[in-house]
Structure 1
């Protein structure tokens, strides 16, 4: 029996946000319908929050206190509160609250909270260190623009990652105790610097970077900016998290959208592989792994094609242990993907996962749906997806590609769609469509589904390749790169212009590659989902596209959810929207059977 969409959407999942030295894990569970905090300890689960929207959090080291980050109905204006676990009836206490602005948790230290905020002018982000007991605050960085990450050392210095001059490039700045800012990396180098971690003696940082390389590796960066490599690969992106005491380096290898973990010596030598459920594979863990303050444990989040999401506990000196068991809810086993490389006319190979239905109904057999990820600086991974499994359950073959611009396959690939190469990613859709017959699929019954930038690709596919696609589902997608940049949250505009091009220098090109410009060519029926509070891709992007398509007499259903932001975070809304979207695709992708002669 195939898994249906309602049952799939009602499956709850877990993720791990933090762990203390007693092995207690601060976890997130969406059992209530949105992600709420709970503590997993000694086989027991203690619910901690019951807020209307999704939350995340961290332990305050050395205390039974949680820093809770939460917003309102997906507006992304996150606020910070404290929750005392040693006082079970104590209410959550606001500590950084002003709903006009964004306050995002970056780091925690004993007695201190490091966060970023745009409250100075609504646009630029400052980094602030706050004393959790007294409320005293120190602004440690206020040079303007976006802040991507910040990590504080025990002696008060702060390493800040900010956008560099090229798309998907970062620069690390070191802020000393006197407030002096010293660049540690070159702002003009095309390189990422992520997952900043201080060495315990403060002598430098361990970072994940692809400086001078195609794939990311793990390097030590000294206070003068000198770099030495610890662990590298010429085939896969690597990401690293050193333990707070510096004794162990947890390394993740990205292998075809799945992760393998290993523990290494602080100098980089392999100590041992980390065995995980599902034969040692999992999708990219979100949130990232985190060590306990005393380095006794690491907490991991685990997901795979057959596992909705679990929290894992990894002792530094022992095997990993699953704290939850989400797969038990599923019943019939979901379908796992096969991995392919799809050729393009210009000689490239598109990484693609294919989920094939084992016994499709005759009227649906041969149909296909391409699911396109957002970003574009992101990667489709081998994780559990209710949408994928429900589509397969209906009998569709599902293709999940990583078109040009996707991360996880090296710097060259994720840079291949920057600015004026935008339509190269759209061309990849045509190459995928041309490949469908190789799978025995009917190219006349192929649809597109995507969210955010993936929604842009859906609309671009329908507008630029109208003869290829039979239907489209657009979730919070961009219809015009011009109006998107004009209307997105002010604090995001300059950051997004690095990827897409600027309104000042590239407006004509942005207009040319916008689906709205060619909306009169769209011939396929369209299903559009959007959140009314979306600060990233404003609702107007969906409204203007729907109006243009309907003006042609083309079917276009627009569903707007007043309590959502950039995507559907609440289960009640997903249960309303996604079954309707699947029914839409089933209706438009069924084989047309000729009526028998009279």
Structure 2
């Protein structure tokens, strides 16, 4: 029996944020309606926070304390606070119960790392645009700015002796990162910051981690490769030695704190495959069998090692697993679900997808998951909904989606593609939509539409659904291919690449221009590739959702496309939520919005 959208949205999911030496797990649970911190220990789940909006956190090593990152109504201006607890009666903590660490609501503060007695965070409080890296003592409040050379900061890793800080920053090319090494005790000013990789090199460098003696830096990179692998960088010369690679799969590696073991994640067509490798040689030690075939890396929180290297905690989701915290015993490789979210689905069988490669106009193939209804409403049988992921530097994986399952439950066949620009399929594929190739990804939608009859679907009853960049793809599909699509649902999407770049948060503009093109050099193409420019061609009804506090894609993007579509006399419903940002983080708002969106599609795709 199919689950409806309300029942699906009411399911509780868990995410894992941290783990202690004795196996206590800091997790996030959305049982209250937004993600709040809980501690899982000895089979007991203890609520830690009860804040108005979603939060994340990390344990403070060696103390019974948690660093909490929180914002206001989804505005992404993260604030950092400390939660200490001695007695269970003081929990769950509200905002006034937290000890302020870094608070200035006008600016963004993002937790990067936790150290004994200290936190490492990035902040744009210097000028509202550039991010500095700061180390702060949680006991004295003393701060040291260790990096302030401008731009975005993506990740940091502090060497165990605290002398060196590895910083990754955006490089020149889209989806490329540069590794810098900051020496906190340099002999000369020239030795303070060293460029470990070249800024012009088109390669990703992610998840940097120091060896315990600071003689090497383990990093995931696709330098001179199509598929990402795990390498050891010499912090003096930048020379790399490959530890674990694959010609078939993108890998990510996380080094244990004691430097002995690598946890390696392989992306197997949207399914996570995990293994433990010897960190010195790269040799395989053991394969980890997860509780379900699903996904356990980005966009979920990445796996985290315990300080003593005996445990790894990770988040797992699968088409039939809403979301669990999983604890891995490194000695045995055993992986145990701590939360058991699938039990909430007792008596129901969520649909699992089949995997396809859809041919394109130029000889490429678009990876695509297809979710087919088992008992469709005859009025909706044969209809198709394409759900496009955001990013574009992201991918659709085999994870639980209440929206996908509800659409299938209604009777639609749901296609979840990884069009050009998606990650998980190598550098060539994720680079195929950069800059002036943007409309090649939009053309992939047309190829998917052409393919519908081959799996028994009616091309005259096909709709688009997407959020963020996926929202841009929805609007672009309606504007550039008006004859193909019967309806669209746009969630926090970009309607004009020009006005988006003009009005997005200043600290994001330069970062996003690497992907889309710059206002200075590419305004003509940005205008050409904008759905708003072609709004007169839109012929399908539109449903738009947006958060009023969205710092990434401003509300004006939704308002201007809604006005243009309504001016044509077409149906366009615009729902704006005053306590949300880039997406709907609160269950109460999702329960209001998503049933309306599904009813909208059912009306327009019914025979």
Cα distance, 1:281 vs. partner? 4.0
* Aligned residue runs from structure 1 range 227-266, under 5 A: 227-266=240-279
Q: Deviations over 1:150-186 (max 9, x none)?
A: 1111222110000000011000000001361000001
User: Which residue number corresponds to residue 325 of structure 2?
Assistant: 311
Cα distance, 1:359 vs. partner? 1.8
* Aligned residue runs from structure 1 range 424-503, under 5 A: 424-503=440-519
Tell me the secondary structure at the aligned position of residue 277 of structure 1.
Answer: coil
Match 2:108 to one of 97, 102, 113? 102
Match 1:196 to one of 208, 227, 230? 208
Cα distance, 1:284 vs. partner? 3.4
User: Which residue number corresponds to residue 577 of structure 1?
Assistant: 593
Match 2:340 to one of 322, 325, 335? 325
User: Which residue number corresponds to residue 595 of structure 1?
Assistant: none
User: Which residue number corresponds to residue 226 of structure 2?
Assistant: 214
CA distance in 1, matches of 2:198, 2:241: 16
CA distance in 2, matches of 1:281, 1:274: 13
User: Which residue number corresponds to residue 550 of structure 2?
Assistant: 534
Q: Deviations over 1:309-348 (max 9, x none)?
A: 0001111112111110101112311000000000001000
CA distance in 1, matches of 2:155, 2:261: 22
CA distance in 1, matches of 2:167, 2:585: 29
Match 1:205 to one of 210, 217, 241? 217
CA distance in 1, matches of 2:488, 2:425: 27
Moved more, 80-89 or 185-194: 80-89
User: Which residue number corresponds to residue 37 of structure 1?
Assistant: 37
Q: Deviations over 1:43-80 (max 9, x none)?
A: 11110000011000001111111010000000000000
Cα contact 1:160–1:172 (8 A) shared by 2? yes
Q: Quick check: 1:176 aligned with 2:183? A: yes
TM-score by length of 2: 0.96
User: Which residue number corresponds to residue 412 of structure 2?
Assistant: 396
* Aligned residue runs from structure 1 range 19-38, under 5 A: 19-38=19-38
User: Which residue number corresponds to residue 158 of structure 1?
Assistant: 165
Q: Quick check: 1:123 aligned with 2:129? A: yes
CA distance in 2, matches of 1:217, 1:282: 18
Q: Deviations over 1:96-127 (max 9, x none)?
A: 00000000000011111000000000000000
User: Which residue number corresponds to residue 290 of structure 1?
Assistant: 304
* Aligned residue runs from structure 1 range 261-410, under 5 A: 261-266=274-279, 267-278=281-292, 280-284=293-297, 286-318=300-332, 319-331=334-346, 332-410=348-426
User: Which residue number corresponds to residue 15 of structure 1?
Assistant: 15
Cα contact 2:296–2:303 (8 A) shared by 1? no
User: Which residue number corresponds to residue 50 of structure 1?
Assistant: 50
CA distance in 2, matches of 1:74, 1:235: 38
User: Which residue number corresponds to residue 413 of structure 1?
Assistant: 429
CA distance in 1, matches of 2:45, 2:294: 26
Q: Quick check: 1:92 aligned with 2:107? A: no
Q: Quick check: 1:136 aligned with 2:150? A: no
Cα distance, 1:143 vs. partner? 0.2
CA distance in 2, matches of 1:226, 1:454: 38
Cα contact 2:358–2:367 (8 A) shared by 1? yes
Unaligned runs of 5+ in 1: 592-598
Cα contact 2:171–2:178 (8 A) shared by 1? yes
Cα contact 1:343–1:431 (8 A) shared by 2? yes
CA distance in 2, matches of 1:298, 1:569: 27
Tell me the secondary structure at the aligned position of residue 23 of structure 1.
Answer: coil
RMSD of aligned Cα (Å): 0.9
CA distance in 2, matches of 1:582, 1:236: 35
Aligned residues: 590
Cα distance, 1:585 vs. partner? 0.2
User: Which residue number corresponds to residue 59 of structure 1?
Assistant: 59
Tell me the secondary structure at the aligned position of residue 298 of structure 1.
Answer: strand
User: Which residue number corresponds to residue 594 of structure 1?
Assistant: none
**Distance change >3 Å, CA 283–CA 587, structure 1 → 2:** farther
Cα distance, 1:39 vs. partner? 0.2
Cα contact 2:221–2:228 (8 A) shared by 1? yes
Tell me the secondary structure at the aligned position of residue 400 of structure 1.
Answer: strand
Cα contact 2:543–2:572 (8 A) shared by 1? yes
Tell me the secondary structure at the aligned position of residue 38 of structure 1.
Answer: strand
Cα distance, 1:388 vs. partner? 0.3
Cα distance, 1:92 vs. partner? 1.2
Cα contact 2:220–2:253 (8 A) shared by 1? yes
Cα distance, 1:283 vs. partner? 4.9
CA distance in 1, matches of 2:297, 2:234: 28
Cα contact 1:339–1:354 (8 A) shared by 2? yes
Cα contact 1:125–1:145 (8 A) shared by 2? yes
